[in-house]
Amino acid sequence: MRGGRLTRRRFLAISACAGIAGIGGTSAVHAISWQGRALGADCRIEIAGGADGHDEDARRGLAAARDTLRRMETLFSIYDPASEISRFNRTGRLEMSPEFSRLRQIVSGMHERTGGLFDPAVQGRFAARMRNEPEPPSSTLWRDLRVEGRTLLAPPEGATITFNGIAQGFACDRIGQTLAAHGIHDVLIDAGEFSASGRTRRLGISNGRDLIGHHALRDAAAATSTHDAFLFPDGGGHLLHPVTGDASPPYWQTVSVVAEDAATADAASTALALTSGPDEIEALAVACKLSRVVAQDRHGEVFSIDL
């Protein structure tokens, strides 16, 4: 695919060895599910249950989860001109809602843990590449933004940001919290990144063409980043180094990680895909408190580590 809207979540969805059954299970488990779109891509929630009168509880939980997704879009969708992030990108300032402020704190933590490799301020470079235009002569980094009370402020030279490398994970976490508040704890969520609670789910890791491994996911989250999941009009991959702006040739073709929460997994998979080899990827995996990494380099060799 060349150009057009980035649909990383649809790309990730093909890697799921879908099913509510536990790992190695041979019998299907009754499930209530919902499929739709959120933050510009496909989304699926599966709640394990049984013929024991809990279907109505599950449906109420799904309705609340859908409300959560809609709220995430009003905050973080760069395709919605009325969203909070779009308002910041237009004006350079934002009175942050509590959830936006919470994600900003998570972003700052991941920016620090990854040594700046995770940086939402690449949006200016990204937009220029999408238009096949020269990149800005100097690009603002996340650390250049300021916070005064509840207000997020761009530097004088301006800044545009995108949370596309973490908002899907944050949404996944918020959906899980919403369902847990409704007493639902056995669920598989695909909101761009995967989160599984209750029984163990087996998820395949795809590089867009082949399966390169699997994760056994239970009470944890997984995220995968692949450089050519989306290509700019000039043919370059969509993962941009925040300092150099370089998109290719990357050391890693695909990086998939497991973390305690989906926001961490989402941001970490992006950052680790920009590392320059096994030593750096292992160091960042430790810094980000990941439990597993599977990475395929551009020559097709697969590297994995369990921490």
For position 209, what pLDDT does the model report?
86
Which residues of the chain carry a pLDDT beneath 70? 1-29, 49-54, 123-138, 228-238, 240, 243-249
Amino acid residing at 199: R
For position 185, what pLDDT does the model report?
93
For position 11, what pLDDT does the model report?
38
Please state the pTM of the whole predicted model: 0.86
For position 307, what pLDDT does the model report?
93
Angle (deg, nearest 10), helices 84-91 and 55-76: 0
For position 8, what pLDDT does the model report?
40
For position 271, what pLDDT does the model report?
95
For position 15, what pLDDT does the model report?
39
Alpha-carbon 290 to chain mean position = 15
Report CA-CA distances (Å) from 136 to 3, 102, 228.
19, 29, 23
Per the CB < 8 A criterion, the answer to whether 187 and 48 are in contact is yes
For position 42, what pLDDT does the model report?
85
Give the CA radius of gyration of the chain: 19
For position 51, what pLDDT does the model report?
45
For position 31, what pLDDT does the model report?
83
Residue closest to 103 by CA, chosen among 145, 72, 65, 149: 72
Contacts (Cβ under 8 Å, ≥6 apart) of 1? 230, 231
Per the CB < 8 A criterion, the answer to whether 222 and 258 are in contact is yes
For position 234, what pLDDT does the model report?
60
